[in-house]
Structure 1
Amino acid sequence: MKNSYDVIVIGGGPAGCMAAGLVAESGLSTLLLERESVPRFHIGESLMPECYWPLQRLGMIDRMNASKFTRKKSVQFVGASGKESAPFYFTQHDPRESSTTWQVERAEFDRMLFERAGELGAECHDRTRVLDVLLDENQAARGVKVRTTEGQTLEIDARVIMDGSGLQALIANKLSLREDMPNLQKAAIWAYYKNAKRDDGDNAGATIVMHTLEKDSWFWFIPLSDDVTSIGCVGDSDYMVKTGLDSEARYNLELSRCPGLASRLEDAERVSKIHVAKEYSYSTRQHSGQGWVLIGDAFGFIDPLYSSGVYFALVMGERAADAVIEGFRKNDLSAQQLGNWCENFKSGSQLIKKLVEAFYTKEFSFGGFIRDNPQFGGNLTDLLIGRIFYDGAEKIFDQMDPAIEEAQQASPMQ
């Protein structure tokens, strides 16, 4: 490693690789640092169809199509009784190639992105831990302190730091910018299975979202390659991990309470340990500063429900990269310049947050809402595929917000 770069990108996930690849391609000297050994395990395996466009810009579509990743053409929802909705087939909404997406093993997917960033000119180092982001007295970034693979501690200068450090959130924690989402304090417990039963045809690769009895939790069902399926349970953190049951017992109890999974797991075998993540939903109150910008989960994370995490990471990496490239061209690396994309991004991502909150409202039924308001079917599918950055994407909530309020008022639990 040199002792100075134009841009240092922290984190070798989708946001960091996207950002590093694009800024390096523009001619800026770029250092990409990942603390783990690449490839490394990560959750977040289901891609929204709109991932197609940032992946296309990065030159990844042919590689994705040549991969063994499961093709995802639909999503489906299963109620607490086990009743299945009709699948949402993306191509019925948009017949273009972009409507077929992927269920990915993140170790392999992130490795492909990491290598692509290197091909585009970024200097990429894994097993290199960023110990600190160095700020001056005005909280302007000036570099990082790292521990190398060989155990050396170095300080490296940079004019811009792009923080894609994930839930470690180096800058946000250093500057106390993190704000938890009190109504989304969830926990996830998941494992991997062989031979779980999948549907036939175009729904074989579907992400399936299944409620448990009483809607106390929900399961994801994500078909991966080699007949492995990711099956995870999400619920309130207090319910999932703070009730006296260990994670294994809680997971097995919720499995027994999920009618939609019973037939799918009749011949299945669990092939992994139990994994747990908790209280991961948060936002940040400031997203950029002089010489620094937050991207990916370091910017914030909503919820795994609609598989928006990787898509948001790619979009943030792309938009932040464009802001950085323009900033160097204009010799303006201010907070305003590096974060000029943030408000538009937040406006779009808020629609997914509202959709998540609607799902967690026990009294509300999406199926009933669409039956009563069929004119919003296309709008809802737009949100499910990630098409959220256009005027009018929010229109569904003009009717959904009062419908949720009416359902809550009519509920005998009130």
Structure 2
Amino acid sequence: MPQTLTQTFDETYDVVVIGGGPAGSTTGALTAEAGNKTLVIERSKFPRFHIGESLMPETYWVFKRLGMLPKLRDSNFVKKYSVQFVTATGKESQPFYFDERDPHERSQTWQVLRSQFDEMMLDNAADKGATVWQETNVNEVIMEPSDTDDLPKAVGVVVTRPGEAPRRIGAKVVVDATGLNALLSKRLGIRKIDPKLKKASYFAHYKNCTRDPGKNGGATLVLANQENDGWFWYIPLPDDITSVGIVGDLKRLSQYQGTPQEILEAEIAKCPGLLPRLANAERVGDVHVLSDFSYRATRCAGDGWVLVGDAFGFLDPMYSSGVFLALKSGEMAADAINAAIASGQPDAMNLSKWGDELSSGMQTIRKLVYAFYTPDFSFGKFVKQYPHHQDDVTALLVGEVFRPGAEDLFEPMSTMAPIPSSIPLDQPRAMRREPVAVG
């Protein structure tokens, strides 16, 4: 049944997106471009600091659809051609060059400064016709009982803009793009943490780091520490800035006594592959901390609401999948929203149609993460033992996690690492095949 707004609102939109990061700006751009009256609400004033700077090559296709490629080509972002792994002893693998399997333009991507990149994306949503409110707080998502689903339906939001009284905004669809805050999934009790991926991260930006010459200068490096119980990312950014961060078990890192700066410095001292690159480096800005990540909601949508990006799920940053999954979820969700509104039925069934596909791709990346954290496992060893799967490994590092056969390498990989089973999404009531009572 079409959603009926039963409350009084100061104004109404077809789509209200909470959060102006990559997932929210993608959703907002594509729903506005389709002719739906769209409001994107962002609590911060852009530009602002954010982590997640390394892009996967498969982001190319969403950027192309959004019209972002010319803007990215004209930017000063560092070009990324490969990813490289460094062992606990400092031994470097051969780079996994993306263009070796496909010389297409998409095989080169970027290392982005998120403050600039996110502002470009949000401006693009406005260019496509979305109304954008920055420095605006969402006080509440207005929800009502659903007649057709187990979870309530969203009908609007209460927002506060600087110097104004709270406003009640009605919407046919409310999109949660609040990132790690995961506003709706926490409220609805559908956010589930992965118990085997309880990690923490300490990270900062540095100047004057050593970079490899030529094509390798823009590579993402993944460096194991000497105890092999944590790993660093090393991501070259514009203006001689490099993003450096440690990821390790939450329990281990929480045992430190000291400031975040002291903890990060202590971890850097235990990474043989990183120390030479930071010999002349100077930290610029604060040390930031994230903890207890890797989770996913059990649902992607309900009556009148949708979860995208990190608000739906967040994976360990091992493969730099965050922005890619944000863009893909935003694109998939926008297509479902546009079709649902056009049909007059923005309900749980219609708004959930994209969830299984996105979840499948996320599960593929999750399996790679589990393999990486297995002691004594390495992609170098795997490729040496199964050389015919080298292309498959590179394909997943590129981001081709939605293609048919993407999971074929996990059967042989399971001989070297425990690979978890995929966890399906819960289905809205209307999509479940309930047993029919007889008699």
What band does the TM-score fall into relative to the shorter chain?
Answer: over 0.9
In structure 1, C-alpha distance between the alignment counterparts of 2:54 and 2:418, rounded to whole Å: 31
Match of 1:254 among 255, 258, 267: 267
In structure 2, C-alpha distance between the alignment counterparts of 1:325 and 1:47, rounded to whole Å: 27
Match of 1:172 among 150, 171, 185: 185
Match of 1:128 among 127, 136, 149: 136
Answer yes or no: is the 8 Å Cα contact 2:141–2:158 preserved in 1. Answer: yes
Superposed CA offset, 1:247-301 (max 9, x none): 2222111111101012111221112221111112111112210111100100010
In structure 1, C-alpha distance between the alignment counterparts of 2:72 and 2:294, rounded to whole Å: 29
Cα distance, 1:137 vs. partner?
Answer: 2.0
Answer yes or no: is the 8 Å Cα contact 1:19–1:318 preserved in 2. Answer: yes
Letter in 1 for 2:250: S
Residue 141 in structure 1 maps to residue 154 in structure 2: yes
In structure 2, C-alpha distance between the alignment counterparts of 1:358 and 1:258, rounded to whole Å: 21
Letter in 1 for 2:317: P
Answer yes or no: is the 8 Å Cα contact 2:20–2:122 preserved in 1. Answer: yes
Answer yes or no: is the 8 Å Cα contact 1:15–1:296 preserved in 2. Answer: yes
Partner of 1:268: 281
Answer yes or no: is the 8 Å Cα contact 1:132–1:170 preserved in 2. Answer: no
In structure 2, C-alpha distance between the alignment counterparts of 1:88 and 1:397, rounded to whole Å: 19
Partner of 2:428: none
Residue 112 in structure 1 maps to residue 120 in structure 2: yes
Partner of 1:411: none
In structure 2, C-alpha distance between the alignment counterparts of 1:334 and 1:402, rounded to whole Å: 43
Structure 1 residues 201 and 156: alpha-carbon distance in aligned structure 2, compared to 1, 3 A threshold: same
Superposed CA offset, 1:291-328 (max 9, x none): 11100100010111100000000000000000011111
Unpaired segments of 5 or more residues in structure 2?
Answer: 1-8, 147-151, 420-439
The 5 Å alignment of 1:205-220 reads 205-220=218-233
Cα distance, 1:393 vs. partner?
Answer: 0.5
In structure 2, C-alpha distance between the alignment counterparts of 1:60 and 1:93, rounded to whole Å: 24
Match of 1:18 among 16, 19, 26: 26
In structure 2, C-alpha distance between the alignment counterparts of 1:206 and 1:149, rounded to whole Å: 42
In structure 1, C-alpha distance between the alignment counterparts of 2:164 and 2:283, rounded to whole Å: 38
More helix by share: 1
In structure 1, C-alpha distance between the alignment counterparts of 2:40 and 2:167, rounded to whole Å: 15
Partner of 2:163: 150
Answer yes or no: is the 8 Å Cα contact 1:213–1:257 preserved in 2. Answer: yes
Answer yes or no: is the 8 Å Cα contact 1:241–1:247 preserved in 2. Answer: no
Cα distance, 1:405 vs. partner?
Answer: 5.0
In structure 2, C-alpha distance between the alignment counterparts of 1:50 and 1:274, rounded to whole Å: 30
Cα distance, 1:128 vs. partner?
Answer: 0.4
TM-score by length of 2: 0.91
Match of 1:379 among 386, 389, 392: 392
Answer yes or no: is the 8 Å Cα contact 2:111–2:236 preserved in 1. Answer: yes
CA RMSD in angstroms, aligned pairs only:
1.3
TM-score by length of 1: 0.96
Superposed CA offset, 1:38-59 (max 9, x none): 1111100000000110011000
Q: Helix, strand or coil: the match of 1:274?
A: strand
Match of 2:56 among 48, 56, 66: 48
Superposed CA offset, 1:182-220 (max 9, x none): 111111101111110000111100000000012111100
Residue 232 in structure 1 maps to residue 245 in structure 2: yes
Match of 2:68 among 60, 65, 76: 60
Answer yes or no: is the 8 Å Cα contact 2:29–2:66 preserved in 1. Answer: yes
Q: Helix, strand or coil: the match of 2:92?
A: coil
Superposed CA offset, 1:335-386 (max 9, x none): 1111101101111111100101111111322211110101110100111011
Cα distance, 1:177 vs. partner?
Answer: 1.1
In structure 2, C-alpha distance between the alignment counterparts of 1:240 and 1:251, rounded to whole Å: 10
The 5 Å alignment of 1:269-348 reads 269-348=282-361
Partner of 1:75: 83
Structure 1 stretches of at least 4 aligned residues deviating more than 4 Å after TM superposition:
none
Cα distance, 1:241 vs. partner?
Answer: 2.5
In structure 2, C-alpha distance between the alignment counterparts of 1:350 and 1:63, rounded to whole Å: 31
Letter in 1 for 2:75: S
Partner of 2:432: none
Partner of 1:409: none
Answer yes or no: is the 8 Å Cα contact 2:10–2:167 preserved in 1. Answer: no
In structure 2, C-alpha distance between the alignment counterparts of 1:265 and 1:53, rounded to whole Å: 35
Partner of 1:30: 38
Residue 94 in structure 1 maps to residue 107 in structure 2: no
Cα distance, 1:240 vs. partner?
Answer: 1.3
Identity of aligned residues (%): 47
Letter in 2 for 1:18: T
Answer yes or no: is the 8 Å Cα contact 2:172–2:341 preserved in 1. Answer: no
Unpaired segments of 5 or more residues in structure 1?
Answer: 407-414
In structure 2, C-alpha distance between the alignment counterparts of 1:112 and 1:248, rounded to whole Å: 31
Letter in 2 for 1:323: A
Answer yes or no: is the 8 Å Cα contact 2:211–2:217 preserved in 1. Answer: yes
In structure 2, C-alpha distance between the alignment counterparts of 1:264 and 1:152, rounded to whole Å: 52
In structure 2, C-alpha distance between the alignment counterparts of 1:254 and 1:66, rounded to whole Å: 36
In structure 2, C-alpha distance between the alignment counterparts of 1:2 and 1:39, rounded to whole Å: 29
Aligned length: 406
In structure 2, C-alpha distance between the alignment counterparts of 1:329 and 1:270, rounded to whole Å: 51
